[in-house]
Structure 1
C-alpha cells in the first residue's frame, strides 16, 4: 500500500502559510494518512542508553573504593566537614541509595 501526497495537495495544505512549522507537517500526516504521529529527538550517539547508565551505576556503586570514599564522606559530614557536596539532602539520598543497593 503506497501512501502519497501530490505536490499540489501539499501546496494546497499550506497555501496560507509563509512558514511551515513541524507541527503543521505532523497534522498533515495525521489528517491525510490517518496516523497518530509522535516525534522524539534522535539519540546523540555519544549519550548512554538507560541500560548502559544502569550498568555503569551498578559497577561504580559496587566498587569497594567508591563505597569507602562515600562512607568516609558520610563520617566527615557527621563531624561537620563537608567534602562531598553543599547539598545535604542530595548527599543523604546518595548515601541511602548506596546502602539500599548493597
Structure 2
C-alpha cells in the first residue's frame, strides 16, 4: 500500500502543518481502514473476553493449526522455527490439542 506524493499534496493542500488527525483521515479515506490510535504506554483496549474470543478464532483456523503442526514436526527433527522456549511451545501445542 502506498500513497503518491500527488495524493499527499492534494490532501494537505494549503496546510503549513499536518496534524496527526489529518494523517489518520487520509489513511482511513485512502485505504479504507478504520484507524484507532493509542499511546504506547497504554494497555490494549481489548477486554479479556475479546482477547479470549480472538484467540479461540485464531486457533480454530485450519491454516494456523497446519503451521503449528509443521513447526512441531520441524522441532522433532531438531529444527526450531517457532520459539526458543521448548516448554512454552509444548504447552501451546497441548492447549490447542485440548481445545480441538
Q: Is TM-score (shorter-chain normalized) higher than 0.5?
A: yes
Number of residue pairs the alignment of both structures matches: 59
TM-score where L is the length of structure 2:
0.56
Bigger Rg, which one: 1
Equivalence for 2:83: 85
Which aligned segments of 4 or more residues in structure 1 are displaced greater than 3 angstroms?
A: none
- Contiguous gaps of at least 5 residues in structure 2: 1-41
Q: Determine which structure has greater relative contact order: mean sequence separation of CA pairs < 8 Å that are 6+ residues apart, divided by chain length.
A: 1
Equivalence for 1:52: 50
> What SS does the corresponding residue of 2:93 show, helix, strand or coil?
helix
Partners of 2:56 and 2:84 in 1: CA distance: 24
Q: Alignment RMSD, CA only?
A: 1.3
Partners of 1:59 and 1:66 in 2: CA distance: 10
TM-score where L is the length of structure 1:
0.55
Matches for 1:15-94 after TM superposition, within 5 Å: 46-94=44-92
